[in-house]
A and B are shown apart, each in its own frame.
Chain A
Amino acid sequence: MDQKPFSQGLLSSEADSQRTLYPYVTGTSVVALKYKDGILMAADMGGSYGSTLRYKSVERMKSIGKHSLLGASGELSDFQEILRYLDELILYDNMWDDGNSLGPKEVHSYLTRVMYNRRNKFNPLWSSLVLGGVKNGEKYLGMVSMIGVHFEDNHVATGFGNHLARPILREEWHENLSFEDGVKLLEKCMRVLLYRDRSAVNKLQIAKITEEGVTVSQPYSLKTFWGFSAFSNPTVGAEGSW
């Protein structure tokens, strides 16, 4: 990398201020699974500014072309930049007007290249991406991390979802889930995340993609239960605490 000239001393060099150092406005987990007709993906609508839950209506899932759905966590401005790249990619694909279109596998591969190459320049796009889709009857679900690690699976999650949601999915996911069962399973995962992830907000969307196309649900909230007896008299056994 560039040598810092002596004169710069304590000030960071210009080169550094042009690289991503840390994320500013971030989204939390995205969880997705394959079901009978396609892919189901869930993400809440929160954008955190550090520890503040600043933005509460952020759409973190977008359809890409005719066959894919992209969900992202991490830096939201990087997600928007990725959407721009994909928009141009899909535009050029459409302009061929030859009856072919990019499927989820191709988009996933493209995203992997973008993320990995940025990581190699020490200037990553600070996002974890979930890419799902259906093309010609074949379902596809994959993930790309900010350092370019990519893989395909029957169910994926980003961020905290990896620790809290995936164990649930490993136990309860099976082939050919119906739409209702898939949604229930996703809601179960999102509820756990809502209870345990401090950057989760109770306003989520569930998106489904099938051969017919993409539908993103209207935002809604999950029911939560806080009526545990331990919560009603919390200082029992420790007088004076709060």
Chain B
Amino acid sequence: MSSIGTGYDLSVTTFSPDGRVFQIEYAAKAVDNSGTVIGIKCKDGIVLGVEKLITSKMMLPGSNRRIHSVHRHSGMAVAGLAADGRQIVARAKSEATSYESTYGEAIPVKELAQRVASYVHLCTLYWWLRPFGCGVILGGYDRDGPQLYMVEPSGISYRYFGAAIGKGKQAAKTEVEKLKLSEMTCREGIIEVAKIIYKVHDEAKDKAFELEMSWVCEESKRQHEKVPEVLLEEAKVAARLALEEMDAD
């Protein structure tokens, strides 16, 4: 699996003989080492969920937010190097406000995804900049309804029904594919996302984690916000139950 690009991996401005830019692939590895991040597009909105791995018992719950609002109608969940993620979020916020200043309406999610992707790609073009070590799942609700995009460290951005990045992304993607997203509301989606995150969490390798979730949907009046405490607790309970049932088999 690992192909050491001896000599061709020292700079992001060098291609290898087989046409790969190794620095970008290494950046993607940083994303793969972080906690799982999932995004799904339901009938009436988007749900984002993050498996926040807790590195120290002394961390306050609710700190180290991984999901950020980028504008009233959209939010971003970050996987990978947290500091790099903050930079991307700051840039996205600034793009969103400048679009609204100029055009008088909220930035369409597609446009926002393109701008974020361009920015991430920019940092793969110069030898004096390193690529971002984080992937981002961007969800928003605009005139064309709810939309979900994923931006990778290479600057690629695609639109998805369901996306996952981080440690458990393979397992998470399989689970998400099983869901009937077009018939699900966000309320149901929250429970499903919680279940998937609890399921793909590796008890052996990582001890504790905190579940962080947000949504943009009709119920939240098309504003991006943290999932309300009550619903979050319900989801956690349902997820733990589902896990116990699985373990019981």
Contact status A88-B68, CB under 8 Å: no
Chain B hits for A88, CB < 8 A: 97
Chain B hits for A91, CB < 8 A: 71-72, 97
> Given the known A-B contacts A88-B97, A91-B97, are A97 and B71 also in contact in the complex, defined by CB atoms under 8 Å?
no
Contact status B69-A94, CB under 8 Å: yes
Write the chain A residue with the least CB distance to B72.
A91
Contact status A95-B69, CB under 8 Å: yes
Chain B hits for A97, CB < 8 A: 65, 69, 225-226
* Distance, CA A94 to CA B93, complexed state (A): 12
* Distance, CA A125 to CA B72, complexed state (A): 28
B42 at the interface (CB under 8 A from A): no
Contact status B97-A95, CB under 8 Å: no
Chain A hits for B65, CB < 8 A: 97
Chain A hits for B226, CB < 8 A: 97
Within 8 A of B (CB), among A69-101: 84, 88, 91-92, 94-95, 97
* Distance, CA A88 to CA B98, complexed state (A): 10
* Distance, CA A113 to CA B166, complexed state (A): 44
Write the chain A residue with the least CB distance to B225.
A97
* Distance, CA A88 to CA B72, complexed state (A): 11
Write the chain B residue with the least CB distance to A87.
B100
Chain B hits for A92, CB < 8 A: 93
Within 8 A of A (CB), among B81-133: 93, 97, 101
Chain A hits for B101, CB < 8 A: 84
Against A, the Cβ 8 Å flags (1 = close, 0 = not) of B35-73 are: 000000000000000000000000000000100111110
**Would you give 8 A-B contacts (Cβ < 8 Å), ordered by A?**
A84-B101, A88-B97, A92-B93, A95-B68, A95-B70, A97-B65, A97-B69, A97-B226
Q: A-side interface residues toward B, CB under 8 Å?
A: 84, 88, 91-92, 94-95, 97
